[in-house]
Chain A
Amino acid sequence: MRLTAKLTMLMAVLAVSACTNANRFDNGAVDLNAATGNAGGILPGSASDPSSPAYFQQTVGDRVLFAVDQSTLGPEARSTLDGQVQWLLTNSDYNAVIEGHADEQGTRAYNLALGARRANAVMEYLIAQGIPSSRLRFVSYGKERPIEICSEEACYAKNRRAVTIISAGLTG
């Protein structure tokens, strides 16, 4: 029981620190740090604009983490996803692609399938909370796209992730 609590704490810390990292795979061209100091207040599209993908990534939290070889969403993950649901409901012009990832401790094909399980777990949660499935799709990168490159649990924990990437809506 105490171990579970500790793990949850750890995951929470990791999730927070992950939020401060720019996502290498985000194809948004917005300068995430150029927002403040504008005389009128909020610069549209900047991280301080609550309707911007940058805000989603930095403030709402674009990723959830998983235990080794698991695709179950813990309380921390569900809390992050609840924030994503609110944002997606408010900003209905946007779609999302959920990327599933695994750490390097596994074979290539299995990790592709495992990443798909993780991304699908997120997608199903978002759908269950009211996001239309037409706005969502997922893709797995398996162990091909780590964000942390050490071969230790500290890195592996951040690589076992599902990242929600906001994209402009295909319709409208």
Chain B
Amino acid sequence: MKQIVASLLAVLILAVSAPGVVLAQSGPLRIEITEGVVEPLPYAVPDFVGETAGAQQLAQQIARVVADDLTGSGLFREVPREAHISQITSFGSPVQFADWKAINAQALVTGAVSSEGGRIVVKFRVWDVFAGSELGQGMQFAGTPDGWRRMAHKVADQVYSRITGESGYFDSRVVFVSESGPKDQRSKRLAVMDYDGASVQYLTGGNALVLAPRFSEDGQRVLYTSYETGMPRVHVLEVGTVQSRILQGQDGVMSFAPRFAPNGQTVVYSLTQGSNTDIWAMDIASGGTRQLTSAPSIETAPSYSPDGSQIVFESDRSGTQQLYVMSASGGEARRISFGQGRYSTPVWSPRGDMIAFTKQNAGRFHIGVMRTDGSEERLLTASFLDEGPTWAPNGRVIMFARETQGAQGSSSLYTVDISGRNLKRVRTPEGASDPSWGPLQ
């Protein structure tokens, strides 16, 4: 794993442009992601060209993952390959724009894969078909063959960002709880996967109950709650070595619901003393703690603003669960949720402008978003039990867990746009809950 990451970091750039630079685009090929976007942009991804013996299969697989990413975002619609008139047989040959115009593919992604000495090189170009020109410049990624999915996601992120003007989210990972067994004998393990459910790796065995893992901002560490000692306690795990240790542990005291500060040095979490649950902060290096709330009610599910200056959390101090915002150093909190029902699990968006939450009202659960002052509340989902939103790194998509009703009920992960469109189930090998979306890699 380390090797793949290292080799992927050594991104080679074809031609002379800087990586990730999007050329200013004044032509028609542009999606402005707004509330009003409903018509996905038609595009074509013919099979990439296998330039060396044995690269043909990878070339096809990579093109399919690129297409799955783009179409899966809900912003793009693939023109089926059966409709293609031109075939791309050489990466260097001129594109026959008329053939792609004829099938109304507004964007075209071409690519090639070569393999040599245990490494593969993936190169690609994005074309504005109706303008008859290249969008941005060609780019290539190199790595070991088992990193091919990540390279495909990187291609898709480039296409997404060149056309939308916003950063993508495809080359990212999600840490979650993998679940098996019936409701009354459920086994839970920590696992990480690609955002699309591929490449699942387990981080813990199934012996101790584990809950609610949370990535650090750099994706290198995971906070979670484990019953390994018999009590729920906050643990921290290094993803690279899969080594974990108890972060907060006082005998007979429960700690849970941890989350990193953006600086990665401070952790906020809930601590239960007697019947009272409050929010605390801990400096990881020194172990020094500080109590941030002191109401006799339940204060939990803290989440930092991206600049680290504020914390949103839930409290039932008013009688039911509601959302509050306070300074990261504690003190006076202001309530921001005022609608019908109970609000919980608030999470600040990476852009800083919104808060996602779980809402319970009239026997149903919803995932919703609101402005950080509580205005413009919008519910995105409704079901028997939706819970625990987490933001894609670009703040455009939310992943959450949905548990189905009844004795056979099980939990799965779903994604939904912050517009409420494009609700999709994430394929995982077993049941899954408590997702936490990591950074764009």
Which A positions have Cβ atoms within 8 angstroms of B? 24, 71, 104-110, 112-114, 116-117, 120-121, 124, 137, 139-141, 144-151
Contact = CB atoms under 8 A, between A and B. Distances in A.
Nearest to B252: A137
B298 interface: yes
B298 A114 contact: yes
B24 interface: no
B211 A108 contact: yes
Contacts, number: 93
B254 A104 contact: no
Contacts of A124: 274-275
B224 to A, nearest CB: 12
Contacts of A147: 184
Q: Nearest 5 CB-CB pairs, A to B?
A: A113-B277, A120-B275, A149-B183, A109-B257, A113-B298
21 contacts: A104-B183, A107-B321, A107-B345, A107-B358, A107-B360, A108-B387, A109-B256, A109-B257, A109-B301, A110-B316, A112-B257, A112-B300, A113-B277, A113-B298, A113-B300, A116-B275, A117-B275, A120-B274, A139-B232, A141-B209, A151-B405
B406 A107 contact: no
Interface string B301-345: 100000000000010100001000000000000000000000011
B28 interface: no
Given A109-B212, A110-B298, A150-B407, A140 B275 contact: no
Contacts of A107: 301, 321, 344-345, 358, 360, 387-388
Given A113-B270, A113-B272, A120-B275, A151 B298 contact: no
Nearest to B357: A107
Given A104-B403, A137-B252, A149-B182, A144 B301 contact: no
A161 to B, nearest CB: 13
B90 to A, nearest CB: 54
Nearest to B212: A108
A112 B184 contact: no
A117 B254 contact: no
Contacts of A117: 275, 298
A146 B184 contact: yes
Contacts of A140: 232, 254, 272
A108 B314 CA distance: 12
Given A108-B212, A110-B314, A116 B406 contact: no
A104 B272 contact: no
Nearest to A121: B275
Contact of B254 (A105, A110, A116, A148): A116
Nearest to B314: A110
A112 B183 contact: no
A131 to B, nearest CB: 16
Nearest to A106: B360
A142 to B, nearest CB: 8
Contact of A109 (B270, B275, B407): B270
Interface string B380-401: 0000110110000000000000
A148 B321 CA distance: 25
A108 B406 CA distance: 18
B434 interface: yes
B225 to A, nearest CB: 8
A71 B276 CA distance: 12
B409 interface: yes
Contacts of A141: 209
Contacts of B275: 71, 116-117, 120-121, 124
